[in-house]
Structure 1
Amino acid sequence: MALSDVDWSRTAWWGIGAVLAAAVTFVVYSFVGTFVFGVFIYYATRPVYNRIRKRIPQPSVAAAVAIFAMVLPALLLAGYALLIVANQIRELDIAGNGYLDQLPFTQETLDVLTDPSQIAALDWQQYVTLDTIGGALNSVAQAADTVAVIGIGAIHLFVMLAVAFYLLRDGGRLGRYLVRFTDQAGIVDAYGLAVDRDLKSIFFGNILNAIVTGTIGVIVYSVLNVFAPDGGSIPAAALVGLIAGVASLIPIVGMKLVYIPVAAFMAVRAVANDVTGGLAFVLAFALASLIIVDTIPDLVLRPYVSGRSLHVGAVMIAYTLGPLLFGWYGIFLMPVLLVLVVHFVRIVLPELLAGEPLRPYTVDPTHLTAEGPAIHSSDPDSAPAEGGGGGDTVASRGEQPPEDTAEEE
């Protein structure tokens, strides 16, 4: 092709678009953990948001209520549970003590905050005075490094909540734009439905259950230890609760792999050492584990979780390799990559290899009857504009919307 045939104006715009895409990619890569956790918050909040929309028609208000009335308190509670675990790790001299040095607490204050028995015994009135508040503010102001750490953490938290908020409020518009802009044969719609269904199952059904279970386990076991008889306490109670939450990701047996051996150890120790009331405390630990930590979170979350189509072994490998490859956020990022790859191979790749046009009928329709993606459920009241060229979407093909999406809307 001769140089005179090149559309230099269009080429320049493509170059500008490539530069902008590279810049956005760099930003997302630099803060990938923050963005991925924001997506997790979105999936964890979406069922609640959809129900709030039935009573609050304004999407901005509904999203704000879902985020700040439910998610933010839950994040603070989970953060407090992690603080208890971190202090126990320090006491056991395991590893990772460097992070504790950056916390805005003295070690004495940290020990009090993470011990339920000491919190219950505190006289809070002596701390709520102008002198103590002023002294605390001066101490924080003098610790520049601590203020910087808190500020950076607050910025990351703000971005996470902002990502979740705007996905809740505007996810429907964004999804319809992508479908109209790129989808002439319905393949983006089909791919989005499949990916969204499995991301909901992974984020809301598995990871959220693990976080809720771990948080409940840490707090319940720490409180139980307040009433433990001498020589009969739960060993490393906070760590046991955290490990129980992680073990809930294991299919079928789940956290029973943790609390049953711990209960057996406590029972043997109580009998061997003739601990007064030891067996009764073991029974209380077992019942609390079975009912409060194991059963209740599962019963609360189970109605919202649709059936999964991913191989259980592949999901377990993603959970295991994710943190090893990427760090703490790998447990969120690796399952996302797994879902994207699996459905690309299942839906798109066969057509690309065959060199045929991408057709939605190549997708097994039984896989599209679970919950629809954010493009259908996040913005219930909005609809495609008339005559807008919406492409061959599920709605335009005359198919029934997903069952729980119709219910939520």
Structure 2
Amino acid sequence: MRLPTKSRAAWWAVGAVLAFGLTFVAYSFIGTLVLAVFVYYGTRPFYTRILRRVRSKSVAAALALLALTLPVLLLVAYAVAIGLQEFNRVRDTADLGLFEDALGPYLEFSDIVADPATVLSDPSARRTLETALDSALSSLGTAGNGLLHLFIVFAAAFYMLKDGPRLTRWVIRRFGDDEGVLVAFVARVDDDLHSVFTGNLLNAVFTAGIGALAFSLVNLIAPAGSGVPYPALLGLLAGAASLVPVVGMKLVYVPVAAYLFGVTVLNNAPLWFPVLFTALAFVVVDTIPDLLLRPYVSGRNLHVGLVMFAYIFGPLLFGWYGIFLGPLVLVFVYHFADLVLPELVGGVPIQPSGVDPGTDPPDSAGDGPADDPTGTAADAPASPDHPPDSDPSPSPDGGVARE
């Protein structure tokens, strides 16, 4: 049944309103959603291998996300433990009068909690309590907002791992063409996004190794009392910090360099060691991996220069999430210009690299399950290594098949 003209116009208006609403939501959470896409591609190789053994997509997705986050959590926990140990050592051997002045309001607040009756009789105590509570509520609000966005990231990545193939098949069925252009476009974009975002993780791992090795080696020639504290740990933290856009590993080696300069001045030691450490950290650990290694491991199917500029201009244009959004935009623009634009501009017939619309698109670097975006293989029997991706269905015992 074909809708009348007026009804079609009304439905187009409804569709425009819905599209505007979705665009507004996506724009409001663009950084969170792009980070979720990065986590999805980073965990998909783990998910694929786990799925072949546990047979439950929900369990496999949860374990894959845990496999990615657990090493980071362990590294952060170890770093916090070392930091607390060093703080206690400094507190026992140095004068912390400056820190006590900075912590004065909080110490006063602890006195108020110990004696609540003073709040009713002392106006200054009430003001101190109100200030401390406002600061605590502001900190809790910031922490809660960060945890909410982190939850959205992992929830979105979880459902992309679990239900992404089903969504892909739905899009292909609704908007696919007989020539298989959409199938080819989706396959190419998926393959390069896998390469780019997995390359980000590989870059962090390589950078962590380079940093741990470089800091440990330079520590061998350090003057007495001026060495790098915990060089291997700082190198690992520098690798993890390389995932942070714009500032990256400067969060690690800049404070360490400031510490080394301070120790050198206090001990009247030569300045060559902190200068050497700063130059080594900036050139060998920071600049070379970020400009040479990251584009190489992230853009195997793209021009290395394009990927490099995507990583440079992305954060400059979009902010902290630009390191993920820049390469994503590059991948979409590149394959649109390569596959679709010649036909739109010059009338050249689209050649989707021989992809048959009735076949599966190539999987990303051989890491993902063989999904069938066109649905032609939906009725085929499931192989032992690839369980069917279908809706939950009643099982012989009256339950629901595991999802």
TM-score bracket relative to the smaller structure:
0.5 to 0.7
Shift of 1:18: 1.1
Question: Partner residue of 1:204?
Answer: 198
**Which has the higher mean CA deviation after the structures are superposed, 353-362 or 369-378?**
369-378
For 1:209-358, what aligned pairs fall within 5 Å after superposition? 209-213=202-206, 230-234=224-228, 238=234, 242=238, 246=242, 308-355=300-347, 358=350
Shift of 1:17: 1.1
Does structure 1 conserve the Cα–Cα contact (< 8 Å) formed by 2:72 and 2:240?
no
Shift of 1:78: 6.9
- Of 168, 177, 182, which aligns to 2:170? 177
Question: Partner residue of 1:71?
Answer: 68
What's the secondary structure of 1:54's corresponding residue? Answer: helix
Shift of 1:171: 0.7
Shift of 1:193: 1.3
For 1:100-115, what aligned pairs fall within 5 Å after superposition? 114=83
Shift of 1:242: 3.1
Inter-CA distance 73–240: structure 2 relative to 1 (3 Å threshold) = closer
Does structure 1 conserve the Cα–Cα contact (< 8 Å) formed by 2:342 and 2:350?
no
Shift of 1:74: 3.9
TM-score, normalised by the number of residues in structure 1: 0.58
Inter-CA distance 51–243: structure 2 relative to 1 (3 Å threshold) = closer
Q: Which has the larger radius of gyration?
A: 2
- Of 172, 183, 187, which aligns to 1:189? 183
- Of 47, 50, 55, which aligns to 2:48? 50
**Which has the higher mean CA deviation after the structures are superposed, 162-171 or 226-235?**
226-235
Which residue type is aligned with residue 346 of structure 2? A
For 1:26-65, what aligned pairs fall within 5 Å after superposition? 26-65=24-63
Which residue type is aligned with residue 8 of structure 1? K
How far apart, CA to CA, are the structure 1 residues paired with 2:239 and 2:47?
Answer: 30
What's the secondary structure of 1:336's corresponding residue? Answer: helix
Which residue type is aligned with residue 202 of structure 1? V
Shift of 1:215: 5.7
Unaligned stretches of 5+ in structure 1? 85-109, 123-134, 250-257, 388-409
Shift of 1:386: 4.5
Inter-CA distance 76–189: structure 2 relative to 1 (3 Å threshold) = same
% identity of equivalent residues? 39
Which residue type is aligned with residue 194 of structure 1? R
How far apart, CA to CA, are the structure 2 residues paired with 1:116 and 1:311?
Answer: 47
Question: Partner residue of 1:407?
Answer: none
How far apart, CA to CA, are the structure 1 residues paired with 2:207 and 2:184?
Answer: 35
How far apart, CA to CA, are the structure 1 residues paired with 2:147 and 2:194?
Answer: 27
Does structure 1 conserve the Cα–Cα contact (< 8 Å) formed by 2:184 and 2:353?
no
Structure number with the bigger relative contact order (C-alpha 8 A, sep ≥ 6) is: 1
How far apart, CA to CA, are the structure 2 residues paired with 1:140 and 1:79?
Answer: 28
Q: Can you list the C-alpha shifts for 1:297-347, whole angstroms capped at 9, x where unaligned? A: x9xxx9xx7972211111111101111111111000000000000000001
Inter-CA distance 157–140: structure 2 relative to 1 (3 Å threshold) = farther
Shift of 1:196: 1.2
- Of 16, 20, 23, which aligns to 1:22? 20
Which residue type is aligned with residue 22 of structure 1? F
Structure 1 moving runs of 4+ over 4 Å: 77-81, 115-122, 138-142, 213-229, 235-241, 243-247, 272-275, 356-359, 372-380
How far apart, CA to CA, are the structure 2 residues paired with 1:119 and 1:54?
Answer: 48
Inter-CA distance 168–307: structure 2 relative to 1 (3 Å threshold) = same
Question: Partner residue of 1:152?
Answer: 145
Q: Can you list the C-alpha shifts for 1:211-248, whole angstroms capped at 9, x where unaligned? A: 3455667788899999976344239975996389759x
Inter-CA distance 374–13: structure 2 relative to 1 (3 Å threshold) = farther
How far apart, CA to CA, are the structure 2 residues paired with 1:26 and 1:374?
Answer: 33
Which residue type is aligned with residue 72 of structure 1? T
Shift of 1:66: 1.2
Does structure 2 conserve the Cα–Cα contact (< 8 Å) formed by 1:116 and 1:223?
no
The root-mean-square deviation of aligned C-alpha atoms, in Å, is: 5.1
Which residue type is aligned with residue 312 of structure 2? T
What's the secondary structure of 2:316's corresponding residue? Answer: helix
What's the secondary structure of 2:302's corresponding residue? Answer: coil
Unaligned stretches of 5+ in structure 2? 92-109, 114-131, 246-252, 356-360, 381-403
Which residue type is aligned with residue 67 of structure 2? M
Does structure 2 conserve the Cα–Cα contact (< 8 Å) formed by 1:176 and 1:375?
no
Inter-CA distance 348–215: structure 2 relative to 1 (3 Å threshold) = same
Shift of 1:209: 2.2
Does structure 1 conserve the Cα–Cα contact (< 8 Å) formed by 2:185 and 2:339?
yes
Q: Can you list the C-alpha shifts for 1:8-30, whole angstroms capped at 9, x where unaligned? A: 11221111111111111111111
Does structure 1 conserve the Cα–Cα contact (< 8 Å) formed by 2:48 and 2:368?
no
